[in-house]
Structure 1
Amino acid sequence: MSDTAAIQKQLKIKSGVVQRLAKEAKLYIKETGQLTTRKAKLVADGAEEWDIKNATKMVDESEKMEIDTKTRLDKAIADLKQLIVAAKEDAALKDNESLLKAEETINNATA
């Protein structure tokens, strides 16, 4: 496999990783908000201590996953940016569709 083909394949793979992690990050942010609201409702309604403690654990776990996903997303974006720089140096890939999609993926993930 030539370098150009290998770079194209890596662009597609790394773009997919960034898209997936960006989607996960948004879902964890949404989940954390929902769980926080649920916990506040339990406290306001005077629910059992176990229910409140369990809701707190769920919020904490969701927050940890949110941080972990954000860290993995940042690393994936950095890897993709490095690959884009390498791809731009290859004359055969200057206006390649995979390269343009990779740049668009980064823009969407960081927006």
Structure 2
Amino acid sequence: MLPAAHRMRHSADFEQAVRRGARGGRETLVVHLTTRTDPGPDGPVVGFVVSKAVGNAVVRNRVKRRLRALVGERLTSLPASASLVVRAQVAAADATYGRLGSDLDGALRTAVRRAEAAR
């Protein structure tokens, strides 16, 4: 589970991460990673985007729950000043938990590498 202190809540934060962040994508999801100038005491913040194209409310909520759990497990590996947006693709509806985890790992590696190269 993702602690409340690490949840992204403001639309401006989502917009900044998506527009200015480094992107890493896989078939089931895309991650946008940016670093904040003020890391704050709580560490990284994470937001999730699961559109209606993914499925009905039951499917979307299942995908969000799985993604929250997966990101919560990997929270310590993220930089303290990270702002991360995880955007689910349509293929996430049929993906297994393991597949989502491996796609998240790959997308995070790509986004971190691109963010470091952009500095």
Superposed pair shares fold, TM > 0.5: no
Compare the two structures and name the one with the higher helix fraction. 1
Compare the two structures and name the one with the higher strand fraction. 2
Q: Which has the larger radius of gyration?
A: 1
Q: Which has the higher contact order (CA 8 A, sep 6+)?
A: 1
| TM-score, structure 2 as length reference | 0.28
